[in-house]
Amino acid sequence: MKEKGICMVISAPSGSGKSTLCRRLLAACPDMEFSVSFTSREPRPNEINGKDYHFISRENFQCRIERGEFVEWTENFGEFYGTSGKVLQDLLQSGKDLLLDIEPRGASQVKNQLQEVVLVFVLPPSLDELLRRLQRRGHETPEAIQKRFDRAESELKEVLWYDYAVINEDLDAAAKQLTAIYQAEKCRTNRLLGMIRRLYPTMKKEA
Ligand code: ADP
Ligand code: 5GP
């Protein structure tokens, strides 16, 4: 029987480089899969339905909330975002490791509902640099950029209840740290107990 997969949640103020880091992690770790959220927001250029998000209408999202389909959901910048509970549980049970790119309110709901979650918070090296990155990305209006920047300061405080913090100053270094966190989590004794017992069947249960 396969071990249950790791549920790794990553949060960061918008513009910190979280999506860039997630792409790096997924490219480096073939056992890990991106958890595709549902959202009511419009797709951005280059975003693919079913790969980046499941893009659905607000009405469709509301129906799914009423049916209790989401393990977590939130309204963020006026749009709905949520994670399907069934898809998440099915993938974890099948042994897949999952990466959830979700904001802190959703992360806290996942933490309360799943027994084991690995919570990682990505911080920009400074607020000035965060603003530069938001502007450089260039796919939002100045008003949308300002909204995201205004939210950042309060969102940064959420780092205090996460398991790990990665400061994304140098991209390569931050990507290595994120991969190291995942690899260390894969080596936790309690995750490997099944495999250890299979390798050493004579080992006493209480050992
Ligand atoms: P988020 O997903 O957190 O909103 P993105 O991954 O879209 O952020 O990154 C925002 C911008 O910052 C992008 O233009 C990205 O290329 C850039 N970026 C990401 N990490 C770094 C870094 N360490 N140094 C400089 N620029 C970065
Ligand atoms: P964006 O619109 O830039 O893709 O995402 C905005 C914010 O929504 C990001 O902080 C992202 O992590 C968060 N987000 C994306 N999907 C989900 C989700 O399913 N649930 C929650 N709670 N937040 C999400």
Q: Which of 77, 102, 108, 140 to mutate to test the pocket of ligand 2 (most atoms within 8 A of CB)?
A: 102
Q: Where are the alpha helices (DSSP H) in 16-57?
A: 18-28
Residue 68 domain-assigned?
no
Q: How far, in Å, is the centroid of ligand 1 from the Cα of 15?
A: 6
Task: Give the range of the structural domain holding residue 14, as residue numbers without chain letter.
Answer: 7-35+97-199
If we measure between CA atoms, which residue out of 158, 153, 148, 67 comes closest to residue 107?
158
- Given its phi and psi angles, is residue 57 left (phi above 0), alpha (psi -120 to 50 degrees) or beta? beta
- Report the number of distinct structural domains present in the chain: 1
- Residue located nearest, by CA, to atom 12 of ligand 2: 102
Residue 193 domain-assigned?
yes
Q: Which residue has the tokens 């309110």?
A: 105
Q: How far is CA 47 from the centre of its chain?
A: 17
| Ligand lying nearest the CA atom of residue 87 | 2
Task: Give the contacts of 86 (CB within 8 A, at least 6 positions apart).
Answer: 69
Task: Give the contacts of 77 (CB within 8 A, at least 6 positions apart).
Answer: 41, 144, 147, 148
Quick check: 7 and 113 in contact, CB under 8 A?
no
Residue 47 domain-assigned?
no
Residue 115 domain-assigned?
yes
Residue 206 domain-assigned?
no
Task: Give the contacts of 54 (CB within 8 A, at least 6 positions apart).
Answer: 36, 37, 38, 39
Per-residue pLDDT tens digits of the chain, which is 207 residues long: 678 899 999 999 999 999 999 999 999 999 999 999 999 999 988 899 999 999 999 999 999 999 999 999 999 888 999 999 999 999 999 999 999 999 999 999 999 999 899 999 999 999 999 999 999 987 788 998 998 899 998 999 999 999 999 999 999 999 999 999 999 999 999 999 989 999 999 987 665
Identify the CATH number of the domain in which residue 192 sits.
3.40.50.300
| Ligand lying nearest the CA atom of residue 22 | 1
CA distance 130 to 148: 10
Q: Which residue has the tokens 């140098």?
A: 170
If we measure between CA atoms, which residue out of 38, 71, 33, 80 comes closest to residue 55?
38
Residue 144 domain-assigned?
yes
Residue 17 domain-assigned?
yes
Q: Which residue has the tokens 């991106």?
A: 34
Q: Which of 137, 147, 148 to mutate to test the pocket of ligand 1 (most atoms within 8 A of CB)?
A: 137
